[in-house]
Amino acid sequence: MTAELSPIDRAKSVAAYRAAEMVEEGMRVGLGTGSTAAWLVRRLGERVRDEDLRIKGVPTSTATAQLAREVGIEVVSLDQAGWLDVTIDGADEFDGELNLIKGGGAALLQEKIVATASDQMIVIADAGKEVEALGAFPLPVEVIPFGWQTTRTLIEELLDTMDVLGTSATLRMNNEAPTVTDEGNHILDLHLQRIGNPRQLALVLNQIPGVVENGLFIDICDKVVIGHGDGRVELRDFNSGTIELDRLGDEHDNLFSDLAD
């Protein structure tokens, strides 16, 4: 017997299912990282198996690459694929202009590279990820290990001049050791509470020596698919200004119920 999906998992699953329908034969698809993106990868694997869908997947992390191979998706590198048709990924926060905070899964660098190498980026998220202003979720910043404490000091000094409510930065840990990204770097989480000018902050953070990339995705996302716990799905297209509403049935619970978050 399969366990009934929780409301949050059902929201993720219906968003992933709806986004997976946008993938067409022969596409080169950027595959995001994180719990919500994992639902998408599983659903695309179902389509590859059941519909003989042929796509090339460009993963944004080693974890996503492993999952994609497990479900039968052909995995290629970004260099092999060249330009991508679409990237589908989750987000830790998104606002009304589809600006994002990403990096909760420590894959923000590869995620941003892949997303910007795509004709369009589609974000899949549960409704709780939508905010009026970015910043409640700590903003990840990827930094090189050498001199990371100096980099943190420079960041905190910069934050004193920015339109934010908090200015502290903490090193993300994995048990007793610093978190290490796929590129061998560390993550500083900025506890800002609210970001008044995301575009400005994204630009100035990357000017600090030691900073590799930050988790603010500005003018990158084109569409967002928002899932709800009752099966409702909302598709917002920022470029056209359109909103589509749909509802997916209970059969999708069974499709995804074996996926552990």
Reported as a pLDDT band with limits 50, 70 and 90, residue 250 is low
pLDDT at 251 over 70: no
pLDDT at 90: 98
pLDDT at 10: 96
pLDDT at 230: 95
150 belongs to an annotated ligand binding site = no
Average pLDDT of the chain is 94
Rg of the chain on CA atoms, in Å: 18
Reported as a pLDDT band with limits 50, 70 and 90, residue 248 is confident
Backbone angles phi, psi at 249, to 5 degrees: -80, 180
160 belongs to an annotated ligand binding site = no
Least confidently predicted of 1-15, 108-122, 133-147, 156-170: 1-15
For the segment 121-133, what is each residue's pLDDT rounded down to a tens digit?
999 999 999 999 9
Straight-line distance from the first to the last Cα atom of the chain, in angstroms, rounded to the nearest whole number:
18
**Under 8 Å between Cβ of 256 and 241:** no
34 belongs to an annotated ligand binding site = yes
pLDDT at 71 over 70: yes
pLDDT at 1 over 50: no
Task: Delineate the domains of the chain, giving CATH numbers in brackets.
Answer: 7-130+219-256 (3.40.50.1360), 139-212 (3.30.70.260)
Sheet strands (E) in the chain: 28-31, 56-59, 74-75, 86-89, 93-94, 100-101, 121-126, 139-143, 168-171, 173-174, 177-178, 186-191, 211-214, 216-217, 223-227, 232-237, 242-247
Q: What is the pTM of this model?
A: 0.93
pLDDT at 2 over 80: no
**Under 8 Å between Cβ of 13 and 226:** no
Catalytic residues: 111
pLDDT at 4: 83
Structure tokens at 157: 């000094």
77 belongs to an annotated ligand binding site = no
pLDDT at 103 over 50: yes
Pairwise pLDDT comparison (25 vs 3), residue with the higher score: 25
**Under 8 Å between Cβ of 259 and 39:** yes
45 belongs to an annotated ligand binding site = no
Reported as a pLDDT band with limits 50, 70 and 90, residue 249 is low
Q: Tell me, what DSSP letter sits at residue 129?
A: G
pLDDT at 258 over 50: no
Q: Distances from the Cα of 25 to the Cαs of 48, 77, 90, in angstroms? A: 10, 19, 22
223 belongs to an annotated ligand binding site = no
36 belongs to an annotated ligand binding site = yes
Structure tokens at 56: 């090339």
Give the contacts of 140 (CB within 8 A, at least 6 positions apart).
Answer: 101, 102, 103, 104, 106, 108, 172, 187, 188, 189, 190, 214, 215
Reported as a pLDDT band with limits 50, 70 and 90, residue 3 is low
What is d(CA 197, CA 182) in angstroms, rounded to the nearest whole number? 29
pLDDT at 183 over 80: yes
pLDDT, average across residues 210-217: 98
